[in-house]
Amino acid sequence: MNKVFEVPQKLRFGALELTPAVTLAPMAGVTDTVFRRFIRNLGGCGLIMTEFTSSEGVIADDRRKKAGQKTVRRNSFNYLYYEQDEHPIVAQLFGSDPATLADAARVVEDLGFDGVDLNFGCPVKKVTTCNGGSGLLRDLPLIRQILEQVRAAVSIPFTCKFRTGWSDTEIVCCEVGRLAESCGLQGVALHGRTREQGYAGNANWDMIAELKRAVSIPVVGNGDVFSPEDAVRMFQHTGCDGVMIGRAAASNPWIFRQIQQYIATGEYDEPTEQDRYEMIRDYYQLLLNRGDRISGRVDGKMKQFATYFTRGVRNGTQLRKAIYRCGEPQEVIDTVERFFEEQLATEAA
């Protein structure tokens, strides 16, 4: 493909080759099987990842399953459920006990995932207080133990995602990257913020560039990529091997396709009102078909995504309010149909 911008188009984690080099970030409450398949269908995304999943929950549910016991509706296997058309797909785990994480990684491998990723980046207090997520960035010896035991437990590609450090005075991203490389991981992803920042302020892309210089394994950059232009700038600024997109994908699921158009031509298509209607309709239909495989209620998920998907819709505030008032999933579908019938009729007049 002729390109306007010379940026990586392939990303390799061991035997796993991904094209293009743009990935969907794991996001709690967002990247369930329905959203992942929705992104896959729109095109342009090289790799999708599960919601981050408790390693302890995986092991507990695996024991119940093997014992023939009934699991609760919101069990960890809903987080790890996927369809065959989602490949390549990586499961992300979190926890702080090396043996439990290793056992959970074995379950992930047995389930047929293309890779396993560990989360050392979540800034949420209830996770970090248990020494999970970015809480582990204050205990590098424990990170080493975790990486060594998980690496020994599985043969599938193994990566990890982390933040620059706990705070501006505790920056450890290069140390964690070198640990990952020495323990045999095939790649790392760095969110350019500290744990203290949460999602505030700006992501420090210079830290991604510094990590890239510090290791020889692939580095994926994450943080503040909200447009195709941002993606190209991240590639150019950091020299990273891949770009990971999180929050922007929820409000603009076309972003992956737009990035590929922009790299190839310097331009990209903006969604029409018809495109936005079809997006909402298709996502809600997928929810109805696979509502038993998500971690929450279908009507709740519809209302959650109405907040994301109505951005950019003409009179979107009215549609959001109407959806929030709905009681049943079918009522949401009918509301969306009526709204866009009127919108598109007005547009055509």
Domain 11-265 superfamily per CATH: Aldolase class I (3.20.20.70)
- Catalytic status, residue 240: no
Could you tell me the pLDDT band of residue 90, with boundaries at 50, 70 and 90? very high
Q: What is the pLDDT of residue 75?
A: 55
Could you tell me the pLDDT band of residue 3, with boundaries at 50, 70 and 90? confident
Q: What is the pLDDT of residue 295?
A: 73
Catalytic residue among 122, 174, 183, 240: 122
Mean pLDDT computed over 107-126 = 92
More confident residue, 71 or 236: 236
pLDDT at 71 over 60: no
pTM above threshold 0.95: no
Mean pLDDT computed over 48-71 = 85
Mean pLDDT computed over 92-100 = 96
Number of helices (H), then strands (E), belonging to the chain: the values are 15, 11
DSSP-derived 3-state class of residue 47: strand
> 76 CB contacts (<8 Å, ≥6 apart)?
53, 54, 57, 58, 60, 61
CA distance 339 to 325: 14
3-state helix, strand, coil in the chain (%, to 5): 50, 15, 35
Domains in the chain: boundaries: 11-265, 273-348
Could you tell me the pLDDT band of residue 128, with boundaries at 50, 70 and 90? confident
User: Are the beta carbons of 240 and 219 closer than 8 angstroms?
Assistant: yes
**Which is nearest to 120 in space by CA: 76, 166, 66?**
166
CA distance 24 to 244: 6
> Tell me: the pLDDT tens digits for 169-215?
999 999 999 999 999 999 999 999 999 998 999 999 999 999 999 99
DSSP-derived 3-state class of residue 222: strand
